[in-house]
Homo-oligomer: A and B are copies of this chain.
């Protein structure tokens, strides 16, 4: 049998991928024609695209191909959910060297399949090409189901600021990988038994970094709860809330007492300190860590939030500093990412 994607060939590879996606109720026409056809019962379609480039957005040494596939789906469908929409379909562009093991492509496909199953979407089309570097391009589509979309510019003074999903774990996981900790074995080698055994609590940070699990259903639910602004936390909580603040013309003040770190994050921060990595308090990971793919939203004052949503702050009319994000009234240092910086 084939051992590389070059041996499988373009059509062989496409056949292997499409066999994993028999379709859903939203797929009118799947892969194999000039284009796919997907339901859009709302008369509007929500669409977003991300590129993932090897050694920029993932490393083969740090993530399995399943991890890469899951994360590629998660970060795109999280954007769909952040508009208040339901994920329906994906298109996947895959550029890779012909000598890439076919098992890697199969793993990627399995990751796409698994996260599509969580989100309720399906791969309906795409493209495969040869290139020096692995690049995964994902376009995600979604349906608003008659709901108004939730943009970034609708927050008003007095609104509650709330989040759903983990904060800071992915960023701490990334810091662990950078420090050489790909798993418990590395940690024991580096710091001994204090690393926490076979399944230490901090390992959840590695898992969240490799396989974020956005709370997709909370996007449409937030609309029903009256959300006036919402986004996917991808560049860090402070930076992303800054987008809502500026677009809406409000200041956002976060309440540090409400930013309760997950125990896994506390353990990860302690391990990072043992390892001599850059010191960051758990709450700093929560404020500035990227790639959480939690959802953050502004709700009208008095909204009765379900337990999945944690209130973490309040929007206010901007003061002399303008539409900024503060923590307990003090400026939050702006971290974040510029992909060409």
**Measuring CB to CB, which residues of chain A are less than 8 angstroms from any residue of chain B?**
5-6, 8-11, 13, 28-29, 32-51, 53, 56-57, 79-80, 82-83, 85, 89, 91-95, 98, 124-133, 135, 137, 139-142, 144, 149, 151-152, 230-232, 338-341
Contact = CB atoms under 8 A, between A and B. Distances in A.
A37 B29 contact: no
B35 A93 contact: no
12 contacts: A5-B340, A6-B341, A10-B339, A32-B152, A34-B152, A35-B46, A37-B144, A38-B45, A47-B125, A51-B137, A53-B129, A133-B133
A82 to B, nearest CB: 4
A37 B33 contact: no
A229 to B, nearest CB: 10
Contacts of A79: 34-35
State the copy count for this chain: 2
Among A39, A82, A95: residue with most chain B CB under 10 A:
A95
A51 B10 contact: no
A230 B130 CA distance: 27
A83 B135 CA distance: 28
Listed from nearest, the 3 A-B pairs whose CB atoms lie closest are A40-B40, A137-B137, A35-B48
Contacts of A140: 35
B93 A50 contact: yes
